């Protein structure tokens, strides 16, 4: 690993280099010479980066915050500790560096705050090791007050195109980049970032997590490379005066596959993620699913796209084009006004009520179709009287601020709605309510699967672990209803251990990171044939593309709105024929 920063670049202004107190021991082999000259570089938050920023940027201190850094194997390491009331850095005069086999141990016995103007008691320790092309470390800290998060400040990270979670590379130019895990608008389905230094050399930043926790990658550009913050958050429901991060990994690889495979191998082992072909939670019918029909019901405003009787007519016709046993029927908004009626989950009387849904499923089953109604993992209308049953399960983020599902303009008044808090499946009252409603639908209508909307929406919070809550929800329903399979909207890595199918594809540069474990079909907002309506979804209209690639991984999907069956049946035939060709070639 080479060092893209020269010491001259990093130490502009002629600041002195602080030599640490080393014991008599030295590194074995190639580290012996390096151990003799390990130094603490007197860097600050503005060292080696563009000030002022040259592109898009994020909040930052408006002064030089001390970042004394230890140089090892071409990287420079510093650390920050965040409590719920301030930010703390290392006191350079209290840093001790000790060589160990294949690495260095860094310890600091005092912190600074207010830009180094004030000192505070605290303790930080990390062990950084080199193993082949990889550098690994885990950092711990203690203070006399609760700690919210801890950051590694890493320099020596090369600039280049960036791939978040093995997705397609993008060129950030001179923009600062912030990526967050778990994925819900944060860009990371798994805490892996790959930087293309050259077509034959890729730099890897990986968090080898043991539990689902909030993490952030912040990359701040300079001429020679990125100043990178790797931030690990403590569980918000477990306040403590100490913190230990995940194990971080950095290093070079010769290909994207070589960069990604160790990360996913760790995930498989940690979360017990089975290969698709070996999954016990995948019923035989799901392996034979070659087409998904999303039959849209009732819009948030009450507009009906298809009632249950029309849905049955659509299935009768579909069965003349493709065997029903090869089709999964997805039912968004079967329960009345989309989202507004969450979480009552009763068959909408205007669509045909319980009798109409019974007939749809029963007659559909005789043709071989499988059925999957939709449920919201974390949405509940707080104006409904049922809300009192689980009002303690709203979400407060780690800093104590309320987190609401308020990012949709349902009524088109050009302002976001505020009637739905983000519900926390990690809290028993909500999890039990949701489980009860799903179980009731399974028992009453004999459906084959259940869809969990926004199940990938993990948030760090003060009440409970959303991943563990989801895992418990799925396990409870599996126990009550063996063979009834959960399906999710979007995912983060650990969810693949308990949910085998999703609406959103992932890991497009490293297919094994998703396809090895799970399957996917197109999102319910996929534009329908014709004008491209997205049905009950808030996206409005888009562009419909009828072509099915025989080699595509995503299961072909037709979203059916009010005019699809009446006006665009010929286009439905085109998609169905493409699905049959794909199935024959797979």
The last residue of a domain, from among 271, 299, 329: 271
Does residue 395 sit within a domain? no
Q: What CATH code is carried by the domain that includes residue 221?
A: 2.70.98
Instruction: Return all residues near 374 (Cβ < 8 A) that are at least 6 apart.
Output: 330, 331, 332, 333, 334, 335, 451, 453, 524
**Stretch 114-142: mean pLDDT:** 97
Residue 18: pLDDT band with limits 50, 70, 90:
very low
* Strand, coil or helix: 493: helix
**Stretch 156-180: mean pLDDT:** 98
Is there a contact between 297 and 334 (Cβ–Cβ < 8 Å)?
yes
Angle at which helices 428-445 and 353-366 pack, to 10 degrees? 60
Q: What is the pLDDT of residue 138?
A: 98
The last residue of a domain, from among 242, 271, 300: 271
Q: What is the pLDDT of residue 56?
A: 97
| pTM reported for the whole predicted model | 0.92
Residues 267 and 282 occupy one common structural domain: no
- For residue 204, how far is the Cα from the chain centroid? 18
Task: Round to whole Å and give the CA distance between 357 and 307.
Answer: 9
Domain with 566, as residue range(s), is 276-379+427-489+522-585
How many helices (H) and strands (E) would you count in the chain?
A: 10, 28
pLDDT by residue (tens digit) across 427-444?
A: 999 999 999 999 999 999
**Stretch 196-217: mean pLDDT:** 96
Residues 483 and 564 occupy one common structural domain: yes
Number of domains within the chain: 2
Does residue 164 sit within a domain? yes
Residues 254 and 304 occupy one common structural domain: no
The last residue of a domain, from among 251, 271, 291: 271
Is there a contact between 145 and 157 (Cβ–Cβ < 8 Å)?
no
Task: Round to whole Å and give the CA distance between 43 and 327.
Answer: 60
Q: What is the pLDDT of residue 23?
A: 32
Mean pLDDT for the chain? 93
Core vs surface per residue 413-431: b (16+ CB within 10 A) or e: eeeebebbbbbbbbbeebb
């Amino acid at each position: 690993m080479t060092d893209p920063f020269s010491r001259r670049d990093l130490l502009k202004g002629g600041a002195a280099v602080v030599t640490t107190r080393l014991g008599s021991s030295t590194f074995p082999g190639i580290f012996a010479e390096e151990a003799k000259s390990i130094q603490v570089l007197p860097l600050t938050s503005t060292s080696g980066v563009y000030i002022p920023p040259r592109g898009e940027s994020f909040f930052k201190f408006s002064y030089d915050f001390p970042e004394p850094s230890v140089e090892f194997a071409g990287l420079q390491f510093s650390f920050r500790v965040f409590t719920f009331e301030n930010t703390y850095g290392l006191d350079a005069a209290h840093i001790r560096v000790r060589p160990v086999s294949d690495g260095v141990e860094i310890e600091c016995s005092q912190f600074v705050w207010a830009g180094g103007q004030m000192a505070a008691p605290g303790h930080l320790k990390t062990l950084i090791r080199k193993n082949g092309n990889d550098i690994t470390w885990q950092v711990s800290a203690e203070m006399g007050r609760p700690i919210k998060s801890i950051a590694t400040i890493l320099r020596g990270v090369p600039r280049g195109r960036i791939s978040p979670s093995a997705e397609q590379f993008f060129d950030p130019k001179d923009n600062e980049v912030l990526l967050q895990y778990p994925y819900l608008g944060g860009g990371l389905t798994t805490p892996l970032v790959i930087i293309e230094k050259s077509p034959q050399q890729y730099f890897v930043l990986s968090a080898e997590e043991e539990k689902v926790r909030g993490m952030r990658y912040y990359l701040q550009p300079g001429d020679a490379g990125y100043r990178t913050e790797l931030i690990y958050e403590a569980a918000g429901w477990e306040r403590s005066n100490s913190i230990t991060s995940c194990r971080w990994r950095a290093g070079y690889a010769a290909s994207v596959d070589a960069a990604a495979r160790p990360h996913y191998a760790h995930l498989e082992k940690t979360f017990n993620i089975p290969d698709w072909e070996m999954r016990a939670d995948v019923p035989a019918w799901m392996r034979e699913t070659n087409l998904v029909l999303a039959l849209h019901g009732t819009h948030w405003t009450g507009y009906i796209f298809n009632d249950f009787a029309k849905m049955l007519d659509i299935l009768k016709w579909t069965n003349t084009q493709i065997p029903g046993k090869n089709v999964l029927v997805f039912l968004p908004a079967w329960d009345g006004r989309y989202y507004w009626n969450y979480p009552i989950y009763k068959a909408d009387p205007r669509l045909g009520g319980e009798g109409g849904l019974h007939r749809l499923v029963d007659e559909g089953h005789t043709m071989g179709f499988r059925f999957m109604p939709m449920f919201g993992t974390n949405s509940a209308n707080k104006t409904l009287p049922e809300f009192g049953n689980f009002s303690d399960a709203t979400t407060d983020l780690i800093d104590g601020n309320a987190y609401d599902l308020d990012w949709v303009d349902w009524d088109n008044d050009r302002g976001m709605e505020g009637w739905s808090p983000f519900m926390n499946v990690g809290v028993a009252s909500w999890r039990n309510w949701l489980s009860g409603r799903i179980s009731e639908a399974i028992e009453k209508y004999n459906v084959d699967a259940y869809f969990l909307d926004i199940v990938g929406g993990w948030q760090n919070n003060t009440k409970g672990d959303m991943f563990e809550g989801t895992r418990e929800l799925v396990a409870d329903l599996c126990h009550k209803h063996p063979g009834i399979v959960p399906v999710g909207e979007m995912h983060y890595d650990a969810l693949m251990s308990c949910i085998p199918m999703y609406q959103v594809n992932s890991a497009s540069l490293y297919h094994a990171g998703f396809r090895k474990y799970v399957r996917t079909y197109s999102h319910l907002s996929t534009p329908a044939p014709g004008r491209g309506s997205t049905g009950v979804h808030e996206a409005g209209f888009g562009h419909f593309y009828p072509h099915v690639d025989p080699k595509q991984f995503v299961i072909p999907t037709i979203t059916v709105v009010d005019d699809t069956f009446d006006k665009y049946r010929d286009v439905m035939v085109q998609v169905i024929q493409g699905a049959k060709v794909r199935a024959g070639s797979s």
